[in-house]
A = this chain, B = another copy of it.
Amino acid sequence: MIRRVLLLSTSKVYGSGYLGYCDAEIRAFLEGVRRLLFVPFARPGGMSHDEYTSVARERFAEIDISVMGLHASPDARRAVREAEAIFIGGGNTFVLLRDLHAAGVLEEIRQRVDSGIPYMGASAGSNVAGLSICTTNDMPIVYPPSFDALGLVPFNINPHYIDPEAGSKHMGETRETRINEFHVFNDVPVIGIREGAVLHREGGSLRLAGSSGGILFRPGVEAEELAPGAVLDSLL
């Protein structure tokens, strides 16, 4: 089993276009792929599945990859089974997971990734690649039947990771505090990936690509800064 997984912290970084900052990683990761199954369920900003799929279609046309939206398939399970590569886009993680359950494709996606096809996720699509969505930043606007996720990597993701802001007067919890609270109730490691960073798994190899790095949180130990390029095979 060679799992191929590319997890993006965000769809956009400030000042660049859709999936612009990680263009080189995506091109290398999808080398040879001609058709991509896009999952638009997370619906950022509440946009429609068709609109969101169009955004992805336009972007991937630049690298000669055609895009089909999973919502448009009359048989979602079959669409997954026949997919050459899967990309789950960002938006609201709760809406995404609820609709993955409703479409009945979670197990199919796992099996396809286990068979070696490339899986790409951005933001919410990265969250659902972890063991659970318990470290999403999103608002719980709908109730999914479970918080368990795809488990394509044996830890959780916190995308859009932001460091505590020195001198902030806001009393809401920092991201770090939230993840530490998660570890009061859970043992699963969490990788916070900053905007601009990308987590890349190839089988037994795991590397933090992109420019901005991340943080590794584990229960009971000090959080660990992860520099761009960090090798994380030991987490697999």
Give the residue among A43, A44, A46 with the most B Cβ atoms within 10 A.
A46
Q: Which of A53-61, A80-88, A177-185 contacts B (4 or more CB under 8 A)?
A: A177-185
Whether the Cβ atoms of B146 and A180 lie closer than 8 Å is no
Q: Which of A31-39, A106-114, A131-139, A227-235 contacts B (4 or more CB under 8 A)?
A: A131-139
Determine the distance from Cα of A137 to Cα of B147 in the docked complex, in whole angstroms. Answer: 17
Determine the distance from Cα of A95 to Cα of B181 in the docked complex, in whole angstroms. Answer: 10
Q: Which residues of B contact A181 (CB under 8 A)?
A: 43, 45-46, 92, 95, 139, 141
Q: Please tell me if A172 contacts chain B, counting CB pairs below 8 Å.
A: yes
Determine the distance from Cα of A1 to Cα of B157 in the docked complex, in whole angstroms. Answer: 47
Contact among B13, B44, B136 for A140, CB-based, below 8 A: B136
Report A162-220 residues with CB < 8 Å from chain B CB. Answer: 162, 169-173, 177-186, 195
Q: Which residues of B contact A95 (CB under 8 A)?
A: 181, 185
Q: Is the interface of A mostly helix, strand, loop or mixed?
A: loop
Instruction: Contacts A46-B184, A184-B43, A185-B95 given; indicate if A139 touches B172 (C-beta within 8 A).
Output: no
Determine the distance from Cα of A104 to Cα of B172 in the docked complex, in whole angstroms. Answer: 28
Whether the Cβ atoms of A138 and B171 lie closer than 8 Å is no
Determine the distance from Cα of A133 to Cα of B143 in the docked complex, in whole angstroms. Answer: 10
Q: 0/1 per residue, A20-52, Cβ < 8 Å to B?
A: 000000000000000000000001111000000
A157 shortest CB reach to chain B, Å: 13
Q: Which residues of B contact A139 (CB under 8 A)?
A: 134-137, 173, 178-179, 181-182
Whether the Cβ atoms of B141 and A143 lie closer than 8 Å is no
Instruction: Contacts A95-B185, A170-B162 given; indicate if A138 touches B180 (C-beta within 8 A).
Output: no
**What is A's interface to B at a CB cutoff of 8 Å?**
10-15, 43-46, 92, 94-95, 133-143, 146-147, 160, 162, 169-173, 177-186, 195
